[in-house]
Homo-oligomer: A and B are copies of this chain.
Amino acid sequence: MPRPRTFDEKEVITRAMLAFWKKGYGATSIRELEDATGISRISIYNAFRDKEGLFLAALRNYHQIAHAFLNEDFIAGGLDSIVALFESMAKRRPKDAPEHFGCLMVNSILDVHGISAEAHQIVMHCRKDLLSAFTSALRQARRDGEIDATDREIKDRAEFLVAVMWGCRTTSRLAGDALAGRGIAKTAAAMACGWRV
């Protein structure tokens, strides 16, 4: 039987995710990934096929975390859940929290075409999840009589909210501080309340 692996694949993925998050795919070299993950190049190529494979694993990991986070915060639905989501985005975080580097999905959009169709698909899928989360929250709000909107308007508003979120994270990245988007998130929350009939 084989010698067992001395590293935890899940943890390697997490660490690689952080590295890509900070510097982007192209600017993160294999040598840097060795340092970041703590395992050797050969182990990386063994476990993930190549650099792109490790990146895809990191993207999927990020997507999974985001998915879980959405499902926690959107159980209730309605306008309050949207407000809560934006408020949670404006929460203070530890100085070394990766949120200060923006959103991995957004950060990857520039290069994702040049990497692979699969990478592009993951980002699209993540966006779709966020979109449908907002959509169902808005639909719930309509069922509860909180808002009055057509399906078309709900779809537009959901896309709008995704854009606000992404713009907020982009602002955070530029400032190097997740808190830079605080006023934005606050305004977004207030605006969602403004939709109340």
Contacts and interface: CB of A to CB of B under 8 A. Distances in A.
Interface in A140-197: 155-157, 159-160, 162-168, 170-171, 173-174, 176, 181, 183-184, 186-188, 191, 194
B27 A174 contact: no
A174 B127 contact: yes
A17 interface: no
A184 to B, nearest CB: 5
A184 B170 contact: no
Interface residues on A, range: 35 or more
A94 interface: no
Interface string A58-83: 00000000000000000000000000
Interface stretch (A7-15, A35-43, A102-110): A102-110
Tally of this chain's copies = 2
A26 interface: yes
Interface SS, A side: helix
Interface of A: 23-24, 26-27, 102, 106-107, 109-114, 123-124, 127, 155-157, 159-160, 162-168, 170-171, 173-174, 176, 181, 183-184, 186-188, 191, 194
